[in-house]
Amino acid sequence: MGKAGRVACIFTPYVLTIASLICIILVGLGCTKASSSTLNNLYFIRLDLSNISEGSALTSEITDRLSAAGITDVTADEVSETIETLQADANISDFYDIGLWGYCEGNITNSTDTVSSCTDPKAEFYFNPSTILGVSETELEKEIGSDLKKTMKIYKAVSKWMFIAYLVAFIATCAQVLLGIFAIFSRWGSCVTTIVSIVSFLFTLGASLTSTIMFSIAKSSLGTVLEVYGIDVSLGKNIYAATWLAVAFSLGATFFWMLSTCCCSGRSPYGHRDRSPRGITAEKAPYTYEPIGAAHPPFGSQQPLVPQHGYSTSYPAATHNNDIPMTHNNQQSSAYEPFRHA
């Protein structure tokens, strides 16, 4: 397989890497721009305060909600006062959408969501309900329950890890895009890219699992408590689709990067079988005789072999009546080469 085949082999994981990068970017851009309807729909969790009703009319209902939630340290009258305070506060929006870098707030008119503003992006962001309600954490803990402080502490620590995981996944995926270019030319490039791809996949998977589990627990735990106050808690859909698509694309890219390391060589099968220089070997003419050792003399000598001890290796000339001729021991002549005289 030549360079063209190598490029075709790298194309699939390269496209999957870019797709994963786009999904991670969408997760990061969620809840960062109020004027973008696309980015506004990318949120992990939403707090909907639009259904808060008059506290005096809901005293009995609040009592039932407190019993269902198992809350005993807060009375129905205290909840009613909190609801009235929220209603009187003109700065309280109808909903709050929580993203990776911040949150957006807005109002609901005729079942239409309109985002009014978004906070500035902040690293290691975590959502603090006391900030939007205009009360201290101590007062909020008193109103909602004693477990709020412990829950918020865990949520803050996990949110920090989630942010770091998404950041590492983003950086590693960007590195894949750059290293993937070098993977076209050699398997070593594919090997390095595969290692980076594994790191990217693990952190993308970790971040996605963290966000999904953490906000699912938040919905089930805080949702029950906040329901007493008429606050509805719901999870977003688009951002989870984006983050798990990033995981799927990253997994596919990792698999094909590994495949390109083991297979898809960029060398051509023609003209590269043996690059070592070869000596020129002369062909011998047919029906000829070459003395033994003439082509490869010992110890690199280029001189023809000379019979030792003065003995001749030639056949004696033919004589009359098959008499054996008398020859001198010091007679020297060349070896008989029958094919050369044929």
Tens of pLDDT along 41-52? 999 999 888 876
Does residue 143 belong to any structural domain of this protein?
yes
Could you tell me if residue 206 is inside a domain?
yes
> Which tens digit of pLDDT belongs to each residue from 152-190?
788 888 999 999 999 999 999 999 999 988 877 777 878
For residue 274, the one-letter residue type is D
- 164 domain-assigned: yes
Highest-confidence segment of 214-228, 250-264, 271-285? 250-264
Both tokens assigned to 115? 């985002």
Give me the DSSP letters along 120-163: PP-TT----HHHHHTS-HHHHHHHH-TTHHHHHHHHHHHHHHHH
In a domain, 129, yes or no: no
Residue 134 phi, psi (nearest 5): 75, 30
Tokens of 120: 């500035």
Assigned domain for 82 exists: no
Q: Of the candidates 4, 5, 2, 6, which has an alpha carbon nearest to the alpha carbon of residue 184?
A: 6
- Given this model, what pLDDT does residue 16 score? 95
Instruction: Find the helix or strand (DSSP H, E) in which 255 lies.
Output: helix 238-262
Contacts of 20 (CB under 8 A, 6+ apart): 173, 200, 204, 245, 246, 247, 249, 250, 253
- Average pLDDT in the 106-131 region? 86
Residues 6+ positions from 235 with CB-CB distance below 8 Å:
44, 45, 46, 215, 216, 219
- Asked if residue 219 is part of any domain, the answer here is yes
Whether 141 maps to a domain, the answer reads yes
Determine the Cα–Cα distance for residues 97 and 332; give it in Å rounded to an integer.
111
Confidence of residue 82 (pLDDT cuts 50, 70, 90): low
Under DSSP, is residue 272 helix (H, G, I), strand (E, B) or coil?
coil
Q: What would the pLDDT profile of 83-93 be if each residue is shown by its tens digit?
A: 666 656 657 78
Domain count within the chain: 1
Residue 254 maps to a domain = yes
For the record, the structure tokens of 116 come out as 């009014």
Q: Which domain does 165 fall in, by range?
A: 3-42+135-230+237-264
Q: Which of 42, 46, 101, 96 is nearest to 241 (CA)?
A: 42
* Mean local confidence (pLDDT), 109-129: 87
228 and 65 Cβ atoms separated by less than 8 Å: yes
Residue with tokens 């906070």: 119
